[in-house]
Amino acid sequence: MQVRPHLGEGIASYIQRLAQANHLSPNELTAVLRPSGRTPDLHRLAQLTNSTVDALRRALPDAPGRVNTDPNRTGPFPQRVDRALPSLNDRVDLLLALGDALQNGVHRNALRRRFPQLNRRHIRLALQHQPRQHRPHHLK
């Protein structure tokens, strides 16, 4: 059974959901995806999920070989959002608004109205970079 990855979901979480959907233990699926080493083989995962390697790399932030990952980046937002919000006060306001949105289920369109300088993609990227917790469906 095929399972689509959630944007921003870790590869371990995705493998666990995929194994559960196919009535396997995560260890069994991991043994197939990691035959000789610690990193999962994205080509095998793409074949199992009927997806492309590029699509998996875009959706899974910790996928091996991902182009846009920067291990030195410590900020809560991707660089595109930082450039769209040059003021530190605006970024702090956005961070607080995202926390409120994730906790209380505020729709992302409300965030777009509150921060008109951000487009839909900026809001989605900012949400993806927040800590993974229980998110309402309309914010995934």
Res. 127 pLDDT band, cuts 50 70 90: confident
Tell me the pLDDT tens digit for each residue of 12-57: 888 888 999 999 988 888 888 887 667 778 888 888 888 888 888 8
Farthest-apart Cα atoms in the chain, separation? 49
Provide the CA 114 distance to its chain's centre, in angstroms: 23
CA–CA separation, 96 and 47 (whole Å): 40
The three-state DSSP-derived secondary structure of 40-107 is: CCHHHHHHHHCCCHHHHHHHCCCCCCCCCCCCCCCCCCCHHHHHHCCCHHHHHHHHHHHHHHHHHCCC
Output the pTM of the full model.
Answer: 0.49
